[in-house]
Amino acid sequence: MKKLLSTVGLAATVFSTSSLLSTSAFATDWQEIEAQAEGQTVYFHAWGGSQEINRYLQWADTRLQQQYGVTLKHVNVTDIAETTTRLIAEKAAGKNTGGSVDMVWINGENFKSMKDNALLFGPFAESLPSWQYVDKSLPVDVDFSEPTEGLEAPWGVGQLVFIHDSESLYNPPQSFSEMLSYAKAYPNRLTYPRPPEFHGTSVLKSMLIELTDNDPALAKPVSEAQFDAVTAPLWKYLDEFHKVAWRGGKQFPAGTSESIQLLDDGQIDLAVTFNPNAVYSAQASGKLEESTKAYAMQYGALSNIHFLAIPWNAKSSAGAQVAINFLLSPEAQSRKGDINIWGDPSVLSSDYLTGSAQNTQQFKSVAEPHPSWQAAIEKEWLKRYGS
């Protein structure tokens, strides 16, 4: 039987993370955790902007109820930063048990914020039985360069890619420089989601990486002096791009779903997604034509691991551990990676996967900047273009 943290290890963990953890939540035996989880409802805060993802989570709820008596309630959020704010408020109010959030889908700046504010339960990730299946060659122990320290479990691989219809746009732009030239030649045909929606912010980060040839400063915490100098090429680029962008750069899609809809309606020539296989599931559901294809810029695709975590005060921490363990199982990861269902690239070694999940498409990878750059870029974008 796979063991969890020892009493001594648990005590050290509690003090080292400054988290007010319930010792009963760290059972010494996985079967005990499963027993505690039975009958619990897990309120899972996750982005809900994709019907494919929403349907997948409905399937996961059914399987969790059947196998473990755990109910998974998807709390649809536009931006997980909303959940971070809620948890900070609960922390300030001294609500250290019985919290309103049991599980979160996070990475990047939101993880760092939750970690810095001691809002996370754990470490728990490496104690999950399904941890044995995880591909350790992936950067599963860091999140936007921030060590995860077992406070979140990897769930999938994200890559920023563009979608085009090969019948109407046979040779799409291969760089952001070419994208600007294309936009000038064909005004009102290109755009990107409105930051701080994470697809939009990801486009900005990708632009900045290419325009600065991945300035080494991007891998380190941002400073005010660095920010102004490093981001200057980005604002110069956007000032030009917005003049010829869709709706004159005065309006932006709300997210990837609207971006894909605009592409399918023929209003724009490129859509954006953080799933290199999203085009297949969109084709399967009739949202995109069979002639659509996904591609990455020549410089590479902005890439990261996305994770699952449990707040320090979760009411159903045992249920959340069981849910995360299931979502990391070969069954759940194979279904999630199925290009006709979600197509999200798996974090498991391919030996444990079945079907199309074994061969999901991935592109040349470009690492995320340090998470501190994200909030700074979003703030400046809103200041310049948000009104």
**Tokens 């995860």 -> residue:** 148
What 8-state DSSP symbol labels residue 288?
S
Residues 6+ apart with CB under 8 A from 35: none
Measure the CA–CA gap between 273 and 290, rounded to whole angstroms: 17
Q: How confident is residue 49, by pLDDT bands cut at 50, 70 and 90?
A: confident
CA dihedral 10, 16, 21, 27 (to 10 degrees): -20
List the domains of the chain with CATH numbers: 7-157+305-360 (3.40.190.10), 159-303+367-385 (3.40.190.10)
Neighbours of 47 (CB within 10 A): 20
Q: In this structure, what DSSP letter does residue 66 have? A: H
Contacts of 152 (CB under 8 A, 6+ apart): 106, 107, 111, 120, 122, 125, 143, 307, 308, 309
Taking the whole predicted model, whether its pTM rises above 0.75 is answered as yes
211-216's contacts with Cβ under 8 Å and 24+ in sequence apart are 211/176, 211/237, 214/366
From start to end of 183-291, where are the E strands? 271-273
**What are the tokens at 197?**
């929606």
Tens-digit pLDDT profile for residues 144-192? 888 999 999 999 999 999 999 999 999 999 999 999 999 999 999 999 9
The residues near 107 (Cβ < 8 Å, ≥ 6 apart) are: 143, 144, 152, 158, 304, 305, 306, 307
pLDDT digits (tens, 9 = 90+) for 361-379: 788 889 899 989 999 999 9
pLDDT tens column, 85-137: 999 999 999 999 999 999 999 988 899 999 999 999 999 999 999 999 999 98
Please give the pLDDT value at position 28. 54
Low-confidence winner among 26-40, 229-243, 268-282, 322-336 (lowest mean pLDDT): 26-40
88: how many CB neighbours lie within 10 A of its CB? Answer: 14
Long-range contacts of 282-287, Cβ-Cβ distance < 8 Å, separation of 24 or more: 282/52, 284/339, 284/340, 285/51, 285/52, 287/260, 287/261
Q: What is the rounded distance in angstroms from the CA atom of residue 348 to the CA atom of residue 362? A: 14
The answer to whether the CB of 138 falls within 8 A of the CB of 347 is yes
Contacts of 311 by beta carbon, 8 Å cutoff, 6+ apart: 87, 99, 101, 102, 103, 104, 114, 119, 120, 121
Phi, psi dihedral angles at 147 (to 5 degrees): -60, 135
